[in-house]
Amino acid sequence: MTYTAHPTRYDNMAYRRCGDSGLQLPAITLGWWHNFGDATPLATQRDMLRTAFDAGITHFDLANNYGPPYGSAESNFGAHLRRDLKPYRDQLVISTKAGYDMWPGPYGQGGGSRKYLLASLDKSLQRLGLDYVDIFYSHRYDPD
């Protein structure tokens, strides 16, 4: 069955300015930390995502290590996006983060190096099936 977003989804959600960027974000964001990995049924994830969007939630917050396992929340969100929300991509704000260990070797152990952050962003875009994310930021302070 094809998903069609609720026509009045923006009527009851407050949107606020994000810093000096001019970007308007909803007062509530749906974070994909623990409930959207492979342990949660895809149908449950889809229901939560559709319900959120129908309520005016347009910001979806992810990270490269969300799951479990790591990366699965981005992969699952990407699948739901392609199936249900692709026609609404211009109405969504998708953010993802990097900063924690993700793969073996010196460049996958997290932190804030340019090498790690760019590689993490590339891998996140692949998992999400996107050409860009709206917000990309460091998940934690890097003392180095």
> pLDDT digit string (tens) for 70-107?
999 999 999 999 999 999 999 999 999 999 889 999 88
For residues 73 and 35, the answer to whether their CB atoms sit within 8 Å is: no
66 is catalytic: yes
Among residues 3, 10, 15, 66, the one annotated as catalytic is: 66
Position 143 confidence tier, pLDDT thresholds 50, 70, 90: confident
For residues 93 and 133, the answer to whether their CB atoms sit within 8 Å is: no
Taking the whole predicted model, whether its pTM rises above 0.85 is answered as yes
- 3-class SS letters over the chain: CCCCCCCCCCCCCCEEECCCCCCEEECCCEECCCCCCCCCCHHHHHHHHHHHHHCCCCEEECCCCCCCCCCHHHHHHHHHHHHHHHHHHHHCEEEEEECCCCCCCCCCCCCCCHHHHHHHHHHHHHHHCCCCCCEEEECCCCCC
* CATH number among 3.20.20.100, 3.90.1150.10, 3.40.630.40, 3.40.50.800, domain 15-138: 3.20.20.100
> pLDDT digit string (tens) for 11-30?
999 999 999 999 999 999 99
Domain boundaries defined on the chain: 15-138
> pLDDT digit string (tens) for 100-135?
889 999 888 888 899 999 999 999 999 999 999 999
Question: How far is residue 135's CA from residue 44's CA, in Å, rounded to a whole number?
Answer: 26
